[in-house]
């Protein structure tokens, strides 16, 4: 079997988004010998680019599944266009408004009811809710992607996170929810208010991470669907915007499924944000730092806007992957293709991974 992964260039200016097209099977054969999946759809203006890409390079108008990892605008909005213009068999998406049973007791305001929580979630996540409604009208099969779900129950393309229980623990801390009756209901660190960023010059030492193990991403990001694809005993990991807590929860399942088999690709979470990874989880996922010049056969790609620097990707994150022997890359508004035994594409050339940043400027 062959595979190809296209991390599509989302974010032509400064706002980063995610859209990843994946195809595997006999890529030298017909469409009936392949599976095609789209993981997230970027912004609304990204949708047509994604449709054109799949039609042109995959030579199909059929998608086995589109996956909405979580309901942020930079992931879900472009999926509306894809659903309108391509034939989609399945939509994998969480429906938090249907997980409102018993949530009223999680909030300080005693007037809150389970029904009002569900309604509030549906209103605040309008784009995701409308996507579900559109899929229902089109007869698309809807799947909530919790741990253990796999495409056509074949175990190739399988969800390793979140569990339903972990997902439901995060909902009270989603954006737009009333004030919770505990500040750390999910065990995650609460984000402080935004400060005006200032640039600082950093000096790097090979093998030393300028990251910590504190999970400071949002509850909504940690609700991201985390997926593992197995092709010929090679494993490919898709992380959405998951943070350290979610990734650690998924890592046990990852270890059990891989059983020592090699990881060849990892999506760098949340456009390369430093809030989403730390030394311990990177050691679990890709391995500990190696000697300078050593390489592991792992590619890591962050989907970033053309003008996303220095926030997307963070140099500290790219360095942490590089000194673990990983080939780390960022799209910067262009599409990067990672593949195995796939047909050649005219006009496409290899790119070099990011160089190690010994000195760099970054936001404090």
C-alpha 7/C-alpha 81 separation (Å) is: 18
Tokens standing for residue 245: 């807590």
CA dist., res. 180 & res. 172, Å (int)? 7
pLDDT of residue 186: 53
Residues of the chain with pLDDT under 70: 182-196
Q: What is the pLDDT of residue 179?
A: 83
Placement of tokens 């060849």 in the chain: 264
pLDDT score for 195: 60
Q: Which residues of 222-247 are buried (b: 16+ CB within 10 A; e: fewer)?
A: bbbbbbbbbbeebbbbbbbbbbbbbb
Cα distance between residue 177 and residue 110, in whole Å: 14
How far are the Cα atoms of 202, 287, 336, 353, 357 from residue 314, in angstroms, in the given order? 12, 20, 18, 15, 11
Give the pLDDT of residue 176. 85
pLDDT of 70 reads: 97
20 closest CA partner among 218, 240, 233: 240
Using DSSP's 3-state secondary structure scheme, residue 185 falls into coil
Residue 263 and residue 233: Cα distance in Å, rounded? 9
Other CB atoms closer than 10 Å to residue 84's CB: what's the count?
13
pLDDT computed for residue 119 by the predictor: 94
Token duo for residue 307:
């003008």
Q: Is residue 209 exposed (0-12), middle (13-18) or buried (19+ Cβ within 10 Å)?
A: buried
C-alpha to C-alpha distance for 140 and 63, rounded to whole angstroms: 11
What pLDDT is recorded for position 184? 42
The pLDDT value given to residue 83: 98
- Give CA–CA dist 199/283, Å, rounded: 28
């Amino acid at each position: 079997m062959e595979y190809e992964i296209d991390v599509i260039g989302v974010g032509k200016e400064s706002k980063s988004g995610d859209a990843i097209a994946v195809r595997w099977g006999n890529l030298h054969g017909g469409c009936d010998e392949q599976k095609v999946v789209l993981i997230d759809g970027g912004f609304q203006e990204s949708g047509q680019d994604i449709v054109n890409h799949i039609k042109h390079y995959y030579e199909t108008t059929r998608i086995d599944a589109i996956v909405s990892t979580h309901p942020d605008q930079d992931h879900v909005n472009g999926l509306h266009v894809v659903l309108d213009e391509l034939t989609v068999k399945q939509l994998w998406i969480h429906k938090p408004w249907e997980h409102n049973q018993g949530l009223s007791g999680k909030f300080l305001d005693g007037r809150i009811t389970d029904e009002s929580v569900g309604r509030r979630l549906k209103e605040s996540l309008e784009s995701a809710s409308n996507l579900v409604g559109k899929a229902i009208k089109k007869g698309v099969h809807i799947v909530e992607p919790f741990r253990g779900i796999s495409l056509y129950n074949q175990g190739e393309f399988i969800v390793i996170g979140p569990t339903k229980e972990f997902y439901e623990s995060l909902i009270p801390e989603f954006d737009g929810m009333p004030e919770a009756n505990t500040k750390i209901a999910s065990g995650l660190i609460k984000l402080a208010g935004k400060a005006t960023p200032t640039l600082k010059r950093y000096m790097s030492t090979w093998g030393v991470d300028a990251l910590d193990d504190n999970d400071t991403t949002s509850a909504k990001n940690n609700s991201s669907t985390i997926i593992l694809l197995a092709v010929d005993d090679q494993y490919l990991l898709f992380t959405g915007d998951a943070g350290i807590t979610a990734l650690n929860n998924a890592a046990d399942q990852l270890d059990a499924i891989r059983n020592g088999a090699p990881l060849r690709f990892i999506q760098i979470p949340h456009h390369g944000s430093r809030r989403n990874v730390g030394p311990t989880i990177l050691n679990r996922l890709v391995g500990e730092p190696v000697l300078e010049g050593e390489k592991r056969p792992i590619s890591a790609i962050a989907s970033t806007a053309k003008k996303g620097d220095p926030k997307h990707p963070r140099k500290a994150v790219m360095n942490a992957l590089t000194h673990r022997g990983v080939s780390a890359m960022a799209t910067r508004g262009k599409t990067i293709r990672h593949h195995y035994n796939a047909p050649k594409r005219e006009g496409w050339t290899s790119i070099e991974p990011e160089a190690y940043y010994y000195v760099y400027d970054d936001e404090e």
